[in-house]
Amino acid sequence: MFRCNNKEEAIIRFNEMKNKWERRYPNVIYNTERKPGQLLIFYDYPSKIRNSLKSTNEIERLNEEIRRRIKVVSSFPDEDSAMKIFYLKSIEFNSKHAFRKMNGSYKCNDEIKEMFNKRYPL
């Protein structure tokens, strides 16, 4: 359903998946069906940048970095010290990737600006 051309086709594919797998994986189907609008929101954006939006590579990289840092420290006196590590790694990650361009964004820059102006008018 994530490789479809539009949201309507993705919903059709989800219903096919649901009919096939609902008995075996009821929790997955339930969680997917609960808020499909949020799950498929990337279809509202231009097709040139959809792969970047639905990918979790950046999030996984951040999680891996936090796990690595926590493993080195191995014990924390309290929850606040663990949150401090998380906060500092998040700030570092954000500053490192702040000016990075999304793949394909240059091809649909005008369309993205128009979407932004509709959502946040002056």
Is the domain of 70 the same as that of 105? yes
The neighbour count for residue 86, using CB atoms within 10 Å, is 13
More confident residue, 56 or 10: 10
CA-to-CA dists, residue 47 to 24, 56, 106, angstroms: 32, 17, 12
Q: What is the pLDDT of residue 86?
A: 81
Q: Is the pLDDT of residue 10 over 80?
A: yes
| Host domain of residue 33 | 1-44
Q: What is the pLDDT of residue 74?
A: 67
Q: What is the pLDDT of residue 16?
A: 93
Is the domain of 5 the same as that of 30? yes
Instruction: Give the rounded distance of the alpha carbon of 43 from its chain centre.
Output: 13
How much is the mean pLDDT over the chain?
A: 82
Residue at a domain's end among 44, 60, 78: 44
Q: Six-digit token pair at 91?
A: 């700030």
Q: Into how many domains does the chain fold?
A: 2
Global pTM? 0.55
DSSP structure class, residue 44: G
pLDDT tens figures, 90-122: 888 878 776 766 666 777 888 888 888 888 887
pLDDT tens figures, 21-63: 999 999 988 988 887 777 888 888 888 777 777 666 777 888 8
